[in-house]
Amino acid sequence: MHSFRLGDFTVDPAAGEMVGPAGREQLDPKVMQVLVVLAKHAGNVVARHELLETAWPGVVVGDDVVSRCVYQLRRHLRRAGGDERYAALVETLPKRGYRLNCEPAKATQQAPASVTAPTRTRTRRALAAGIAVLLVAVPASWLLWRTDYFWKDPLAHARFTRVTDFEGVAPSVAISRDGTHLAFLASHDGRLDVWIGRTPAGEFRNLTRGRVPGIDIPVRSLGFTPDGLQVTVWSRMVDARGAESIQTWAVPSIGGTPHPYLRDAAEVDWSRDGTRMVYHPAAPGDPLFVTDANRTNGRQIYIAPRGVHCHFPVWAPDDRFIYFVQGRPPDDMDIWRISPAGGEPERITFHASRVSYPVFLDRTTLLYLATAEDGSGPWLHGMDIERRTAHRIGPGLEQYTSLGASADGRRLAATVATSRTSLWRVPVRDRVATEADAKRIPLPATGGRSPRLGRGYLLFVPGDGSAIRRLTTADGKSTELWNGRRDRLAAGPAIDPTTQRIAFSVAEAGKTRLKVMNADGTGLRTLAASLQVKGAPAWSPDGRSIVIAADQGKDTRLFKVPVDGTPVVPFAADYSRDAAWSPDGRLLVFNGADVGPTFSVEAMSEDGRSRALPDIVLPRGARRLVFLPEGDALVVLKGAAHDRNFWLVDLQTGSKRQLTAFSPGFAIGDFDVSADGREIVFDQLRQEPDVVRIDLAQR
């Protein structure tokens, strides 16, 4: 097909290019095919099955591949156009298909001049001019409306007030419907408790005082009942056998004795009329239940596919829909909505990132948190749900970690965090190590995370994820090996045990790609460019291949990527990611699908056959697995997100031994083990959140 004009864009299907006002974009072949089909039918609805039949003829694929192509197409339009409005040219029509709200440019035809009387001529010219103005103005106004040209930042002229000034604030906040009370979690008195105070006075008191066991913050933990008389909080307990249970507790907002409120239920939200609740138990697929306010007649309205999670359910202001975050945690989530009566959910956003805390300001204005393509954030976003164009809003570079809104949308409560990362080392001993045994590793001012031990050096990633640096053990000299400028690492790097080459995954131009370079930073190249990789890479012990997960339609699976450029080989049939090879290359362990707040560790032999392991269940987010040199044990992280420690798991017997006992709040993210197994290097993420009250200007 020859190149053609599409509004402000020139599209060349043969070259796979699209050129717009802000630059040139290279489109994947399938994305280009989708664009060509939509362009041929510009202004009309193209059904999803038509796109599948045209772009994937004779191939059995899931409907999700169309959504992904449309999502990538919107990104290309936004970047090539230089404005968020261009992304909205591709419109999603629920249960119908997609429509491109733009037509290819057409030659303008001018009517021959009239030879009648001057007055008649002037009249006809004026009439023609008026009609021309209408023909231009009406479609232009419609297009401006559809592309969200008239969007206004709801936080413009808002007043931001920091209401806390002490340590231990956690990323969880709630505000009463009338906006008069604000609650948050904090460990200011030594353990995680619910704190509450009136706004705008800002005088807070400890509401639970250690009387609610197992308060946790994996997702939204706090809420007010519709009348504001009680605060609810999520609790998670683990018994002696390792079995987990969750329940929602409630405590009077004026003070009193906490009591169980909903058993086996989390993330409760009430309809605006106060007659119904939505919640989910800790079960595979996070099934959503709707029940009346008296907690009877509960009915399941939705359950996600295996490995997919549903969080942050919230009722729309008119109670017609329940909005929730769905996807594969932590970094492939988006906002969906579903009728309280059940049915198929409808996707609202297309970030495919860490999306959380949706709240409504009014019937059409949705706010939420989401990380950017490069992994930075979370940032505050806003959207008109009728036009569905995402806008990053709010002043400065504040990283928001939780969000709540009053019923009238006039007041928000949020936690805003300053994150700092540092590297530490702790010895592996027969006794349990404490913080006194851990030593901080001196680093440049940028901080560091994701440490990896090489021969005589330590690799690390600066706090913003934009580079890979090497710290020489002998002299402590730091050298930059790679800098992505605007791109960010998607996970920690991996070092080839044979040649010390470095493999890493990078989020760039809307894709996450696998890259390899030499130990000194030279020879950078991309492997398996067609793969949309996920998680961290793992070198085979012989250095000939890399195992890494990649998205495949609706699932994420491990693939073996040969370094010599030969074809990629699928290595697992089910959901799998973040693998680690045993030193002898005979066993590959990896993360299975998340089930509730946990996942199981699974294994395969070198030829891809499943291998039995003792029952190893780890908390979500603790994905890193490292073998000891002998290959008979794994070092893992166990515990809640804010209170994790290192454990040793024997792969023959399943026995577990605690290696460290750090105090709560010593948050560990990523780590590595020395070649002799005597030392662990790890990063500590220290977040210093503050609770902020945001009073919106009159709208």
For residue range 272-306, list pLDDT tens digits in order: 999 999 999 888 889 999 998 777 678 999 999 87
Q: Are 369 and 334 in contact (CB under 8 A)?
A: no
**pLDDT value at 108 more than 50:** no
Q: Residue 603: what pLDDT?
A: 93
Q: Residue 423: what pLDDT?
A: 93
DSSP 108: -
Tell whether the torsion through CA atoms of 53, 55, 59 and 62 is positive or negative. Answer: negative
Q: Give every CB contact of residue 598 below 8 A, 6+ residues apart in sequence.
A: 244, 617, 618, 619, 620
Tally Cβ neighbours within 10 Å of residue 133. 10
| Least confident window among 297-301, 366-370, 639-643 | 639-643
4-105 belongs to CATH 3.40.50.1370: no
Q: Residue 203: what pLDDT?
A: 81
DSSP 490: S
The topology under which CATH files domain 159-418+689-695 is: Neuraminidase (2.120.10)
Q: Residue 113: what pLDDT?
A: 36
**pLDDT value at 319 more than 80:** yes
- Please tell me the distance from the alpha carbon of residue 47 to that of residue 34, in angstroms, as a whole number: 12
**pLDDT value at 442 more than 60:** yes
- Please tell me the distance from the alpha carbon of residue 106 to that of residue 103, in angstroms, as a whole number: 8
515: left (phi over 0), alpha (psi -120 to 50) or beta: beta
- Please tell me the distance from the alpha carbon of residue 368 to that of residue 560, in angstroms, as a whole number: 37
CATH class of 429-677: mainly beta
- Please tell me the distance from the alpha carbon of residue 612 to that of residue 210, in angstroms, as a whole number: 41
- Average pLDDT of the chain is 85
Q: What are the domain boundaries of the chain?
A: 4-105, 159-418+689-695, 429-677
**Is the model's pTM score more than 0.75?**
no
Fold identical between 4-105 and 429-677?
no
**pLDDT value at 104 more than 80:** no
Q: How far is CA 254 from the centre of its chain?
A: 36
**pLDDT value at 247 more than 80:** yes
| Least confident window among 111-115, 284-288, 405-409 | 111-115
Give the mean pLDDT of 104-131: 48
